[in-house]
Amino acid sequence: MALIHRHSLLLIILGSLVISTAMGLRHGFGLFMEPLSSELGWGRGVFAFALALQNLVWGLSQPFTGALADRFGAARIIVVGGLLYALGLLFMSLSTSAIGMTVSAGLLIGLGLSGTTFSVILGAVGRAVTPEKRSMAMGIVSAAGSFGQFAMLPGTLGLLEWLGWAAALMAMAAIATIIIPLGAMLRDKPTAKTTTDLSLKEALNEAAGQKGFWLLCLGFFVCGFQVVFIAVHLPGYLFDNGLAVQVGTTVLALVGLFNIVGTYTAGWMGGIWSKPKLLTWLYLIRGVVITAFVYLPLSPMSAYVFGIAMGLLWLSTVPLTNGIVASVFGVRHLSMLGGIVFLFHQLGSFMGVWLGGYLYDLTGHYDTVWQIAIVLSAVAAALHWFINEKPLERSVLTEITP
C-alpha cells in the first residue's frame, strides 16, 4: 500500500466504501423472501423473479454504465446509481403487488447496482494504479464489498425483526443515500485518449474476436449462477431442513467475513501466478464444497463450515476476472469490457435465483438446482484452463487462447 499514490489510495478508500454499502445492502435481500412472501400471500417464485430481474437488469445495463464511466469518470455514474438504489428500496417497501415488487426490486435496484458496484469502481481503480499493483488493488476493493456483506447482514436482520419488512426496507433506503456523497467525492481520471487508442467500436470488435474473452464470459456465468442462488435461497433451504432462521443469517455473515480474506488473497495471488489457472482451481474447489454440503448430513455446524468455505471462494473470482481483462486489453475501455463479462455473470445470476424459486414451487425442494451448480463448477474449471492472459499485441492481432 505504501507504493500506491495518494490520489489512488483515496480513490480505493472511497470506492471501497461505496461498494461495501451497495453490496452489504444487497446481501440481505434473501432474508426478506420468507416474511414478505408469507405476509403478502405469494409463493417464493414472485420474490425470486423480482430478484432475478434485478440481476438481469444489473447485467444488461452494466456495459453501458461502464462505457459512460470510461468516458466521463465514475463519480457521476455512482451518484445516479446511488439515487436509483435508494428509490428502489423505498418503493420496494411500499409495494404490495407483484408488479410493484418487480419494478422496484427488479428494475430500479438493478439499475442502481450497475452504477455502484464492481465494473464501474474496479475500472476506476484499474486506471489509477500501476499494472503490477492492479490485481492487489482490485482485491482490496472487492474485499471491501465482502466486509459490507458481513457487517451489514446482522443489522439487516435486526431491522427486519424490530421493524418488520416494510419499515426495514425504508431504513435501508436511508442508508443507501450515503452512496451519493461518497460517489461525488470519487474523482477518478479517465485515461487520456491517444492517437493509438482504439475507438469504442474497435475495442468491442477486438474483444469479440478473442476466444479467451468468451471463455471468460461463460465462466463468469457459472459464478453468477452459484453465488446468487446461494445468497437468495440458502436461508430458505436451511429453514426447510429444520434449522433456525438465525443459522441462515449467520452462514451468510460468515460468507461475507471470509470473503474479505478470499478476495484480498485472490488479488494478491493474481499478481504472482496465472490468473486463469487460479480460477480453474477456485471453481473445482467450489464444486467440491457444494457437493459436500448437499450430500453430507446437514447441521448448524456443517452449515457454518459451508459458509466459511464458500466465503473464501465467493468473490475471489472478481479481481482475477477483471485482472485478466485489464491484462489482455488494457485499461482504456476496462469498465465497458468488464461490464460485458459481468453481464454474463448476471445472466447466470438470473438463472440461478429464478430457477431456484421456480423449481422449488414446482417440486418443493432445491435438489435439482444444487446438482446443476455442482456440474457447472466442473464446466467453469475447464473453460478457464484454456485462457491466456498475455497482453494483446495490436500491431499483429492474435488470439488470447493457445
More confident residue, 95 or 33: 95
Q: Which residues contact 104 (CB under 8 A, 6 or more apart)?
A: 50, 88, 89, 90, 91, 92, 94, 95
Q: How confident is the model at residue 2 (pLDDT cuts 50, 70, 90)?
A: very low
Whole-prediction pTM: 0.74
Q: For 337-375, give the DSSP string.
A: HHHHHHHHHHHHHHHHHHHHHHHHHHHSS-HHHHHHHHH
pLDDT for 111? 94
Q: What is the pLDDT of residues 253-292, one digit of tens each?
A: 888 788 888 888 887 888 788 888 999 999 999 999 999 9
> Cα separation of 80 and 110, whole Å?
12
pLDDT for 396? 44
For the cut 80, the answer to whether the pLDDT of residue 139 exceeds it is: no
pLDDT for 327? 79
For the cut 80, the answer to whether the pLDDT of residue 133 exceeds it is: no
> Cα separation of 219 and 321, whole Å?
9
Structurally, at CATH architecture level, domain 1-188 sits in: Up-down Bundle (1.20)
- For the chain, the average pLDDT equals 83
> Cα separation of 283 and 344, whole Å?
16
pLDDT for 4? 53
Q: What is the pLDDT of residues 145-161, one digit of tens each?
A: 777 777 787 888 888 88
pLDDT for 173? 95
Q: Judge contact between 401 and 212, C-beta under 8 A.
A: yes
Q: Tell me which residue has cell 499485441.
A: 393
Using DSSP's 3-state secondary structure scheme, residue 103 falls into helix
Instruction: Give domain limits for the chain.
Output: 1-188, 200-389
The three grid cell numbers given for residue 31, joined into one nine-digit string: 432474508
**Span 334-352, average pLDDT:** 83
pLDDT for 394? 57
Q: What is the pLDDT of residues 284-320, one digit of tens each?
A: 999 999 999 999 998 999 999 999 999 899 888 888 8
For the cut 70, the answer to whether the pLDDT of residue 192 exceeds it is: no
The three grid cell numbers given for residue 2, joined into one nine-digit string: 505504501
**Span 47-67, average pLDDT:** 84
pLDDT for 3? 46
Q: Which CATH number fits domain 200-389: 1.20.1630.10, 3.40.50.1980, 3.40.50.300, 1.20.1250.20?
A: 1.20.1250.20
Q: How confident is the model at residue 243 (pLDDT cuts 50, 70, 90)?
A: confident
pLDDT for 397? 42
Q: What is the pLDDT of residues 20-53, one digit of tens each?
A: 899 889 878 878 877 887 788 777 678 878 887 8
Give the other-Cβ count within 10 Å of 98's Cβ.
15
**Span 167-194, average pLDDT:** 84
**Span 390-401, average pLDDT:** 55
Question: Residue 299: left if φ>0, alpha if ψ -120 to 50, beta else—which one?
Answer: beta
> Out of 60-74, 320-334, 367-381, which region has the weakest mean confidence (pLDDT)?
320-334
Q: Which of 307, 316, 318 is nearest to 255 (CA)?
A: 307
Q: Which residues contact 389 (CB under 8 A, 6 or more apart)?
A: 274, 275, 276, 323, 324, 327, 328, 400
> Cα separation of 86 and 234, whole Å?
25
Using DSSP's 3-state secondary structure scheme, residue 130 falls into coil
> Cα separation of 127 and 332, whole Å?
8
Topology agreement, domain 1-188 and domain 200-389 = yes
Q: For 303-329, give the DSSP string.
A: HHHHHHHHHHHSSTHHHHHHHHHHHHH
More confident residue, 192 or 388: 388
> Cα separation of 386 and 20, whole Å?
33
